[in-house]
Each structure stands twice: as structure tokens, then as C-alpha cells.
Structure 1
């Protein structure tokens, strides 16, 4: 659950260090809230995917068909969580108004999403 811990650390950082600037209207309020929401979604989707994987591994009586469904759900939530988690640097940078670096982070994130989609297609074929 290191991914959950990392996201909790980011969430805490955003709240502790950026909330005072948000409260005094020094930040884009919409981006601040989108960043917090994205972090929360990543945290809980990682957790839910972990529960699906836990049932696959921990419950011996679960049928093979049910295990396939659980793994597929866990995989889907895990990938969505990764996409949300890797979007956070760009969101934080945009929130802080560091636009040039935020655009680079967004480009890297888009490449990462493309890579995940490509790898997912390869895995489905094999």
C-alpha cells in the first residue's frame, strides 16, 4: 500500500502548504479543489483495487470465473488510480501558477497515459 501512502503524503502537502494560499485567494480555487479531489480519488481507488486483489488471493472458495472478474476490476481501478496519481504534479504546478513546467508535466502525463494504453492492449492480446 505504498501508493496509498504516497498519495496521502501529497494530499497532506497540498493541504498544509497550499491551503493558506487558497484561503487568501492567492491560488486558483478550482484547480486547488480539482487537485485535492484527484488525490482523494487516487487514494480510495488504490484501496478498492487492493480489496479486489485481496479477495482473489485470500478467499479459497472463490470460483475461477469470479476471480477473473475481480482481477479485471482490480486492474481497471489500479490503472485509473495510476493515471490520477500521475496527474497530480501537473495539477499542483498549474495551481501554483508555474505554467511552463506544468505544461511539460502534462505532456509527460499524456505520454504516460499513451504508454499505459499501449501496454494494456499488448496484455489483452497475449
Structure 2
């Protein structure tokens, strides 16, 4: 029996409830924690869990600038890149990597409203 049952990615930010609202809408999930909470979590129907912790000194990551390193990065699997991109931008996300990436995946890079980077990656249907 596995000791660890699940994992939660926690992103530091100045306004956890505001950032959780962005991801709640993007993932069509449920929010746990109120506006004054220092830790707010979003859970999607598919079991994705992301939490947001208040850090009064939080500064946005500077990736993808060449002098910076990638501290953490979310990859969100989607069935339609164009539709997902429209949703991200409508919710306040920003495209940060618009060129077609080299490699085996179709993906696009974005920043959430607090500046954390994430990738939308095309999820191919399973082969029968």
C-alpha cells in the first residue's frame, strides 16, 4: 500500500484567493478556503489539486528570461489548445511563449495573473 496518497502543488503569492479564483475557473474546480485564508486550495473534478499560500514578499518569477531559472512550472493537459488559450486570456493569463516549441509536444507557455508560468500541452487521445 502506498504511503503517499496524493500531492498538492503550492504556489506562493501575495493574494491567494485571487489567484485561486483564476485556477478555479480554468480547471472548472471547487475552492476551499475563504478570502482571508493564508492557504487556499482548488480541486478539479478530475482530481487535480493546486494550493496558493500567502507570502507578503512574493515576487513573480522572471522566467523565461535567459538569465533566470525555472523555479516551478505547471503543465496542464488540454484537448484543444486554441480554446484553452482563449480561456486563459479571458481569465487574465498572459501568453509568454508564442513560438512553436521544438519537441514531441504541441504546447504553449503562459503566466497566471501573479506571474507563475504554466504550459498548456495538447493531450492526445489514448491509442486503442
User: Which of the five TM-score ranges fits, normalised by the shorter chain?
Assistant: under 0.3
TM-score (norm 2): 0.27
TM-score (norm 1): 0.27
Q: Between Structure 1 and Structure 2, which shows a larger proportion of helix residues?
A: 1
Q: Which of the pair has more CA radius of gyration?
A: 1
State the structure with bigger RCO (CA 8 A, min sep 6), 1 or 2: 1
